[in-house]
């Protein structure tokens, strides 16, 4: 299951309904927003994990954070600290507030919801993306990256990790791991 499907199906759609209700969006608007933001964050995540410390940082965040709570208990999305945590995640994934604003503007235009709504959604969706990935990593066991065919993290990230678009993320992950540990 990919990240978007995992978020949309979490708790029979409870996570999507929660963020929609927090921002006054109907089901179609929420689905459109998620369908635009999740791929944008996944693409940025792919770029981020190609940096020397990016893959190790992602594995550390997945194993050390309590991100899974957002998909397991979507009411947690309404907690006061969720936006701050989401902004922290965005800082790691996107790198700057300027990039966050660009993502909000582009996805706002794409969905017709506008950049202000997307700016408010971005930190919530970031927590859900990390939550979905954390849940999948936990299901795969420990903090290691499970094999692609095992329904694990690699399968969930799918195209986000297949940087050369050859249909397999294995060669891309192997290269990233080699770069992370100083081997080519």
Of the candidates 81, 77, 119, 113, the one whose C-alpha atom is nearest the C-alpha of residue 100 is: 119
For residue 161, what pLDDT band results from cuts at 50, 70 and 90?
Answer: low
Q: What is the pLDDT of residues 36-49, one digit of tens each?
A: 999 888 888 877 77
Would you list the domain boundaries of the chain? Answer: 3-180
Q: What is the pLDDT of residues 48-90, one digit of tens each?
A: 777 767 767 777 666 667 888 888 899 999 998 999 999 988 8
């Amino acid at each position: 299951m990919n990240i978007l499907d995992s978020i949309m199906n979490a708790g029979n759609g409870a996570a999507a309904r929660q963020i929609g209700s927090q921002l006054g969006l109907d089901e179609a608007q929420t689905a459109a927003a998620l369908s635009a933001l999740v791929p944008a964050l996944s693409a940025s995540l792919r770029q981020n994990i190609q940096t020397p410390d990016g893959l190790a940082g992602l594995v550390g965040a997945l194993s050390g954070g309590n991100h899974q709570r957002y998909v397991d208990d979507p009411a947690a999305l309404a907690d006061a600290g969720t936006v701050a945590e989401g902004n922290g995640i965005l800082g790691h994934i996107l790198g700057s507030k300027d990039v966050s604003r660009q993502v909000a503007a582009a996805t706002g235009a794409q969905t017709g919801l506008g950049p202000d709504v997307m700016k408010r959604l971005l930190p919530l969706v970031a927590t859900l993306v990390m939550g979905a990935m954390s849940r999948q990593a936990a299901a795969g066991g420990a903090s290691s990256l499970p094999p692609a065919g095992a329904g694990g993290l690699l399968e969930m990230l799918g195209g986000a990790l297949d940087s050369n678009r050859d249909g397999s993320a294995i060669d891309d992950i192997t290269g990233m791991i080699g770069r992370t540990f100083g081997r080519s």
